[in-house]
Structure 1
């Protein structure tokens, strides 16, 4: 009997201990909302300019998250309009890096004008107008999933208010203009108007006189020329006519007349060498994530509605699976668009995801209904957005 009572008591103690451990593990570690201390910046007003996009804007300084043990922690800078909030607003996020540390250590990261401008634009900040924003630092254990039961909660710094004026990323890069007889029918303003604010442009991503880009031409017999600015001064056309050379430019030159009818054309122009290329392209999404799989592309539509937030972009509303896809530009797969790294990667949802020609496969992280938005107006910033519907 004593032996039985002793065993029962031992069992009760073990059960209590297990219950206590289970209860303790249910409490998130590091759940203090002010666990990180952001010591710089603590405020201020910043006018962001394309002319100094490469300059350092400020150096962020913050203290380590406290998880009561040495942890590898990823830190992000988050920004949202002060009229919104971090839970429901458009939040810009910038990766500050991974750091292994104990509580009380300090870290710093220099943020450039361009990087912070991207953050402001991701939060739907206005261009050329000073607005008020809130920023904070968010820490999370590296490899920790939101669905994990390890209870290692994200930790946050205090919120800091700042003012910032964003610039249009187009202003960073040299460009040439593409006036022609296709403009009005294609949503680029009046025909043969290089001064139209809606005109198609080709950008130089290295600012070295080499330009490239896509132009939608919604007429059966398009004609156009190139100009170095929003006027006819210094315009260039093809060296020959009937037929064009489709290789060599001359000033003023002859009208360039593609022979493949309406559609999207891709250009490269070496302004200094007076050479160019032109080729018709499809703009389509394809892959296991799409309704038609890898066998059949789904073509995207060019938006000509000036009131649309996707004006002069390519869009489609689709149900996508959590799987891989690409933007295909040619049926023979010689040109496609995908990840900058060339590796298969999850895209980010509801924000710009930068891509490149002949990049790697992209992946939809979560199945659902999306508006696919492809922005290829600026060759220095080809990007894709998957916007949850």
Structure 2
């Protein structure tokens, strides 16, 4: 009996040793120097909205070494040069490559680099110093893994001046008598007026403008300084002139939010007053009655000139409704019911599908419809 018991102990020890060795092989450790970023090696980069699609640089690096063959997902991280990298540092995925490849590379456009630097805390219009590095992880590794492996490259310092992402798109200005009451300036000739955008950069614009006066008047203007000849003042409902001779456009429905479409080459436009509200089973009023959002007029707010509301939401569906007869709404890009993201920008479109709150809770609903190329919604946990 004693011999049997002793044999069991020896067998258990052997099995423990085997499992331990197996765990070490399943959880290899990558050296922090196992990736060498060979490009860029530094330098200064000029970023502009008009050249957003051009390449800023081509990132190149040597493959990560994990001690076993696998496909590896590589990401480019950035922080201000005065900050330190962490697991939460902002990053963009460069792609997934075989670990057997000799050298990996990926072109990084000015738009991608600009978004990365802005998310890392860069200031629009201000030259800054940033650190870049590349991280590689096995593509099969879960992002939530607490004992996962990664390979980290050397750090490279660059300088760059981020631009306002609005500058990627053609703007049309709407100076008018409502400006001073709506966070802008009355009849501003210095560009301090509401704008609408051309998502296709093709002279066709759309957008929402909040006009907080009872009898607003305005003109279309492609030049914020009033120095050109194509001011686009109104000549009749639905059309306007391309010179200084037209009269003011006068919306008849008083104060509120207006939606515009403008075809600049054809000198035509449409204009309609809209409500801005959230509605759906996820809201306190259900699908029966909308809950209206408020235009944020506080310049110190991170949601300045967006529509916001603090609201308790359930784990259910909702839409942004812009007209009571349901003919105009905003929802998912796919047109299907989708879970929204929590905290991040969730892109939406006119007449999209139902959105769904991912988890019940108290949220700040933030609707950003300043730029027709990037209508988006945020659910910020409170």
Structure 2, unpaired ranges of 5+:
none
Q: Find the aligned partners of 2:205 and 2:313 in 1 and give their Cα distance.
A: 34
- When normalised by structure 2's length, the TM-score is 0.83
Which whole-Å deviations, capped at 9, do the CAs of 1:165-190 have from their partners, x for residues lacking one?
11222223222211222212211212
Pairing 1:12–2:12 present = yes
Deviation at 1:276, TM superposition (A): 0.8
Pairing 1:49–2:48 present = yes
Deviation at 1:310, TM superposition (A): 2.7
Deviation at 1:378, TM superposition (A): 2.1
Q: 205, 214, 218: which one pairs with 2:199?
A: 205
3-state SS, counterpart of residue 115 of structure 1: helix
- Against the structure 1 CA distance between its residues 253 and 371, is the aligned structure 2 distance closer, same or farther, given a 3 Å change threshold? same
Pairing 1:216–2:210 present = yes
Deviation at 1:370, TM superposition (A): 4.5
Structure 1, unpaired ranges of 5+:
none
Counterpart residue number, 1:284: 277
Q: Find the aligned partners of 2:257 and 2:52 in 1 and give their Cα distance.
A: 31
Given that 2:257 and 2:275 are in contact with CA atoms closer than 8 Å, whether structure 1 keeps it comes out as yes
Counterpart residue number, 1:116: 113
Deviation at 1:274, TM superposition (A): 1.7
Counterpart residue number, 2:58: 59
Which whole-Å deviations, capped at 9, do the CAs of 1:315-373 have from their partners, x for residues lacking one?
23345566665433334444333444556666565554444334455566666654443
3-state SS, counterpart of residue 210 of structure 2: strand
Given that 1:321 and 1:364 are in contact with CA atoms closer than 8 Å, whether structure 2 keeps it comes out as yes
Given that 2:330 and 2:349 are in contact with CA atoms closer than 8 Å, whether structure 1 keeps it comes out as yes
Counterpart residue number, 2:96: 98
Q: 110, 113, 126: which one pairs with 2:123?
A: 126
Given that 2:124 and 2:162 are in contact with CA atoms closer than 8 Å, whether structure 1 keeps it comes out as yes
Show the 5 A alignment for 1:194-343. 194-230=188-224, 231=226, 233-240=229-236, 245=237, 247-250=238-241, 252-286=245-279, 296-319=289-312, 325-342=318-335
Given that 1:30 and 1:65 are in contact with CA atoms closer than 8 Å, whether structure 2 keeps it comes out as no
3-state SS, counterpart of residue 255 of structure 1: coil
- Against the structure 1 CA distance between its residues 317 and 28, is the aligned structure 2 distance closer, same or farther, given a 3 Å change threshold? farther
Counterpart residue number, 1:36: 35
Deviation at 1:119, TM superposition (A): 1.5
Q: Higher mean Cα deviation, 348-357 or 273-282?
A: 348-357
Counterpart residue number, 1:71: 70
- Against the structure 1 CA distance between its residues 189 and 274, is the aligned structure 2 distance closer, same or farther, given a 3 Å change threshold? same
Deviation at 1:111, TM superposition (A): 0.8
3-state SS, counterpart of residue 166 of structure 2: helix
Number of residue pairs aligned between Structure 1 and Structure 2:
378
Q: Find the aligned partners of 1:119 and 1:288 in 2 and give their Cα distance.
A: 36
Given that 2:71 and 2:99 are in contact with CA atoms closer than 8 Å, whether structure 1 keeps it comes out as no
Q: Higher mean Cα deviation, 350-359 or 309-318?
A: 350-359
What RMSD in Å do the two structures reach over aligned CA positions?
3.4
Pairing 1:169–2:160 present = no
Given that 2:72 and 2:99 are in contact with CA atoms closer than 8 Å, whether structure 1 keeps it comes out as no
Given that 1:36 and 1:157 are in contact with CA atoms closer than 8 Å, whether structure 2 keeps it comes out as yes
Deviation at 1:83, TM superposition (A): 2.6
Q: Find the aligned partners of 1:345 and 1:62 in 2 and give their Cα distance.
A: 37
Q: Find the aligned partners of 2:266 and 2:362 in 1 and give their Cα distance.
A: 47
Deviation at 1:92, TM superposition (A): 3.7
3-state SS, counterpart of residue 114 of structure 1: helix
Q: Find the aligned partners of 2:295 and 2:341 in 1 and give their Cα distance.
A: 22
Deviation at 1:263, TM superposition (A): 1.7
Q: Find the aligned partners of 1:39 and 1:364 in 2 and give their Cα distance.
A: 44
Given that 2:279 and 2:320 are in contact with CA atoms closer than 8 Å, whether structure 1 keeps it comes out as yes
- When normalised by structure 1's length, the TM-score is 0.82
Given that 2:30 and 2:65 are in contact with CA atoms closer than 8 Å, whether structure 1 keeps it comes out as no
